[in-house]
């Protein structure tokens, strides 16, 4: 009996050793390593009870952050375990600062000072009017405290900027803008004994710190005003080589002389879209996110020249974070609260290096400390992500086993169904979700969406029933979209066939009975899209592209067209990212639709 027990113990230990060896061997095998594929970059997540716009503060192993649940949290940065929380009187949008043993943050109209145990040391009420936390649904920004020495400076409503001694909460500075009725949402910046900030009305200011007198102001409304929104300055300014930089809803990125406010250069978004998410300055380069452009840009700070302009899947609201060779940004899909990504782009050329799909929108600016990336989500969670494992996230790679043109050939009208099959392969290391759409309704696709495991393939069948179709040539496009690739990938294939009568006598083609202009596909797109339209009679057709300011960009069609369904392709190789409109005129028919170029 003793020998049997010893044998069992020996076998158990041997099994553990073999498994450990297998694990270590698997861990070092590289690309197809199972453990690496199954690894989870998220180290921990901590749930608050409100959306998080605040950027985390990491200090001495503790993460400090506020939430729209009005609580200010202290969380162990290594474990995600809450140490304490403090209930403020209003929502918390702002990012905290720390001086010695005092933590400072803003909530509503009050500036708070807490000790490191979460007890109130002081609070400073900044104004008495009604609290307005958000001007509209896209207003995610609040002025956060700027710590200079032992003084915190912060902007508020009604044009006030205060300086408060962080050790005792006593006011030591105050200035107010001339109109005194616009919120200051930017965190101030201080340079050469002057304080700089912008307001909701689109005016940027410089005040003397000693006298609290206005030095200069720059009104962005003198450059351009849009009827649909205000010129709100919502990006925190940065100072570099006697120049101040800021962007916002004016759709411009500004570089002003810090001494006198004269303009050095201006970058105007070609699609007249907001410039948000930044700027962040490193090594004479400005990095800036965007709104519906879905891009991150890098600018030469001296000239304003775009160094690179690269697409991300969604909007960027927080600042880019630069560490080492990479630019980190969080993104959010404005139409779905459960979609956002944490992205890392090459700092040199902007190419996407890796990303992590999150089940939440990310408004918070990522903060990196000791190899961990921290940020908050719209779902109220604070996340800690392993920087190393982020770069180990696997991705799918779609391959199609078909030519660029699928030719069904000549189909006999009174014959049976015509079918053909292709295979979609995933040669990457992660599962893929692929959707198939077509511009030609006569072709049935089965299935239209499918999930493909790594290193696997699935069949897609295309079917045409010629019996109800008109006698004519058919031409259209198929679009295969890989939803989980590192970069959203859409592959286009042409599909053609001709329908004839079995006896060889052709029938007159049946014309459409009305005019129509369909939505372009794909949309958003890069580098090309297809526009489908139809006319019921022979008529002059004019199809033109306009930018958001109503300027004509391109005439795609200006000729007499026969009755039928027509397609036109637009290639945007030299067209800037942005929102565009396309308009069709034919006889008395006029129709206009929107499209988005995303590079």
Q: Residue 514: which pLDDT band, with cuts at 50, 70 and 90?
A: confident
Q: Find out whether 280 and 238 touch, Cβ atoms under 8 Å.
A: yes
Instruction: Using alpha carbons, list the distances in angstroms from residue 398 to 305, 344, 475.
Output: 35, 22, 24
Q: Find out whether 475 and 458 touch, Cβ atoms under 8 Å.
A: no
Q: Find out whether 253 and 299 touch, Cβ atoms under 8 Å.
A: yes
Whole-angstrom distance, CA of residue 167 vs CA of residue 104: 10
Q: Is the pLDDT at 35 greater than 80, yes or no? A: no
Residue 347 tokens read as 């700092």
Q: Which residues partner with 581 through β-bridges?
A: 546, 594
Please tell us whether the domain made up of 511-599 is placed in CATH 3.40.50.300.
Answer: no
**Looking at residue 8, what is its pLDDT?**
42
Pick from 31-40, 203-212, 511-520: least confident? 31-40
For residue 159, the 8-state DSSP code is G
**Looking at residue 448, what is its pLDDT?**
94
Task: Kindly report, residue by residue over 466-487, the tens digit of the pLDDT.
Answer: 888 888 888 889 999 998 899 8
Measured distance between the N- and C-terminal CA atoms of the chain, rounded to whole angstroms: 73
> Which bin fits 335, alpha (ψ -120 to 50), beta or left (φ > 0)?
alpha
For residue 525, the 8-state DSSP code is B
Do β-strands 62-66 and 146-148 pair in parallel, antiparallel, or remain unpaired? Answer: unpaired
Average pLDDT over residues 190-201: 97
Whole-angstrom distance, CA of residue 108 vs CA of residue 86: 15
**Looking at residue 505, what is its pLDDT?**
43
Q: Is the pLDDT at 86 greater than 70, yes or no? A: yes
% of the chain surpassing 90 pLDDT: 66
Whole-angstrom distance, CA of residue 238 vs CA of residue 197: 10
Architecture of domain 88-221 in this structure: Beta Barrel (2.40)
Whole-angstrom distance, CA of residue 230 vs CA of residue 226: 7
- Residue positions counted in the chain: 599
Whole-angstrom distance, CA of residue 511 vs CA of residue 513: 6
**Looking at residue 188, what is its pLDDT?**
98
Task: Kindly report, residue by residue over 119-158, the tens digit of the pLDDT.
Answer: 999 999 998 888 888 888 889 899 999 999 999 999 998 8
Residue 84: what are its φ and ψ, rounded to 5°?
A: -165, 165
Residue 88 tokens read as 């403020």
Q: Do domains 394-510 and 511-599 have the same CATH topology?
A: yes
Residue 527 tokens read as 């580098």
**Looking at residue 509, what is its pLDDT?**
44
Whole-angstrom distance, CA of residue 374 vs CA of residue 45: 10
Q: Which residues partner with 218 through β-bridges?
A: 204
Residue 283 tokens read as 């090594």
Q: Residue 511: which pLDDT band, with cuts at 50, 70 and 90?
A: low
- Closest of 166, 163, 198, 164 to residue 182, by C-alpha: 198
Q: Is the pLDDT at 13 greater than 50, yes or no? A: no
Q: Find out whether 205 and 177 touch, Cβ atoms under 8 Å.
A: yes
Locate the domains of the chain by residue range.
Answer: 88-221, 394-510, 511-599
Architecture of domain 394-510 in this structure: Sandwich (2.60)
Q: Residue 87: which pLDDT band, with cuts at 50, 70 and 90?
A: very high
Whole-angstrom distance, CA of residue 310 vs CA of residue 298: 9
Whole-angstrom distance, CA of residue 49 vs CA of residue 343: 25
Query: Residue 66: in which H helix or E strand, if any?
Result: strand 62-66
DSSP 178-214: SS--S---SPPEEETTEEEEE-TTSEEEEEETTT--E
**Looking at residue 12, what is its pLDDT?**
39
Q: What is the pTM of this model?
A: 0.78
**Looking at residue 39, what is its pLDDT?**
64
Whole-angstrom distance, CA of residue 476 vs CA of residue 462: 13
Residue 83's CB is within 10 A of a number of other CB atoms, namely: 15
Interacting residues of 279 by C-beta distance below 8 A, sequence separation 6+: 235, 238, 245, 246, 247, 253, 286, 287, 288, 299, 319
Q: Residue 36: which pLDDT band, with cuts at 50, 70 and 90?
A: very low
Q: Find out whether 89 and 110 touch, Cβ atoms under 8 Å.
A: yes
Q: Find out whether 542 and 585 touch, Cβ atoms under 8 Å.
A: yes
> CA angle 504-510-514, nearest 5°?
170
Q: Is the pLDDT at 19 greater than 70, yes or no? A: no
Average pLDDT over residues 405-426: 82
Whole-angstrom distance, CA of residue 95 vs CA of residue 57: 7
Q: Is the pLDDT at 30 greater than 50, yes or no? A: no
Residue 128: what are its φ and ψ, rounded to 5°?
A: -110, -5
Q: Residue 502: which pLDDT band, with cuts at 50, 70 and 90?
A: low
């Amino acid at each position: 009996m003793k020998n049997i027990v010893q044998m069992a113990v020996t076998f158990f230990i041997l099994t553990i050793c073999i498994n450990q060896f297998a694990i270590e061997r698997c861990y070092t095998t590289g690309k197809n390593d199972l453990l690496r594929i199954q690894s989870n970059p998220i180290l921990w997540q901590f749930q608050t009870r409100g959306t998080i716009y605040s950027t985390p503060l990491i200090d001495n192993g503790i993460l400090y952050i506020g939430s729209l649940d009005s609580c200010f949290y202290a969380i162990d940065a290594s474990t995600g375990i809450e140490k304490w929380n403090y209930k403020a009187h209003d929502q918390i949008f702002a990012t905290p600062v720390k001086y010695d043993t005092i933590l400072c943050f803003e909530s509503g109209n009050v500036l708070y000072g807490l000790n490191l145990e979460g007890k109130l040391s002081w609070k400073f009420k900044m104004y008495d009017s009604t609290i307005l936390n958000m001007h509209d649904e896209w207003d995610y920004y609040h002025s956060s405290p700027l710590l200079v020495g032992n003084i915190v400076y912060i902007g508020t409503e009604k044009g006030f900027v205060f300086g408060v001694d962080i050790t005792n909460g006593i006011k030591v500075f105050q200035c107010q803008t001339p109109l005194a009725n616009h919120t200051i949402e930017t965190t101030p910046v201080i340079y050469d004994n002057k304080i700089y900030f912008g307001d909701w009305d689109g005016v940027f200011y410089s005040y003397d710190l000693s006298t609290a007198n206005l030095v200069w102001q720059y009104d962005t409304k003198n450059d351009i005003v849009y009827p649909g929104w205000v010129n709100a300055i919502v990006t925190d300014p940065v100072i570099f080589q006697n120049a101040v930089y800021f962007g916002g809803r004016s759709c411009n990125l500004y570089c002003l002389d810090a001494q006198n406010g004269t303009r050095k250069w201006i970058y105007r978004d070609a699609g007249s879209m907001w410039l948000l998410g930044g700027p962040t300055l490193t090594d004479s380069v400005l990095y800036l996110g965007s709104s519906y452009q879905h891009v991150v840009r890098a600018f030469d700070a001296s000239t304003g020249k775009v160094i690179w302009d690269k697409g991300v899947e969604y909007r960027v609201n927080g600042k880019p974070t630069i560490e080492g060779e990479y630019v980190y940004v969080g993104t959010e899909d404005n139409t779905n609260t459960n979609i956002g990504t944490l992205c890392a782009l090459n700092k040199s050329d902007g190419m996407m290096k890796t990303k992590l799909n999150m089940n939440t929108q990310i408004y918070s600016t990522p903060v990196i400390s000791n190899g961990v990336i921290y940020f908050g989500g719209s779902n109220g969670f604070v996340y800690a992500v392993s920087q190393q494992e982020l770069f180990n996230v696997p991705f799918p790679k779609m391959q199609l086993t078909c030519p660029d043109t699928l030719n069904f050939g000549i189909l006999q009208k009174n014959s049976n169904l015509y079918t053909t099959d292709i295979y979609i392969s995933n040669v990457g290391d992660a599962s893929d979700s692929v959707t198939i759409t077509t511009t030609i309704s006569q072709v049935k696709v089965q299935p239209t969406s499918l999930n493909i495991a790594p290193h696997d393939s699935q069949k897609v069948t295309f079917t045409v029933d010629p019996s109800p179709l008109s006698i004519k040539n058919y031409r259209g496009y198929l679009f295969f979209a890989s939803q989980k690739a590192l970069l959203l990938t859409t592959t286009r294939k042409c599909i053609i066939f001709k329908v004839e009568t079995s006896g060889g006598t052709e029938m007159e083609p049946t014309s459409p009975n009305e005019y129509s202009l369909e939505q372009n596909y794909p949309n958003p797109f890069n580098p090309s899209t297809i526009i489908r339209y139809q006319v019921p009679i022979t008529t002059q057709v004019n199809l033109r592209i306009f930018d958001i300011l109503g300027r004509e960009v391109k005439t795609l069609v200006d000729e007499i067209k026969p009755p039928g369904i027509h397609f036109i392709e637009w290639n945007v190789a030299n067209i800037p990212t942005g929102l565009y409109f396309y308009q069709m005129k034919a006889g008395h028919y006029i129709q206009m639709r929107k499209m988005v170029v995303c590079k």
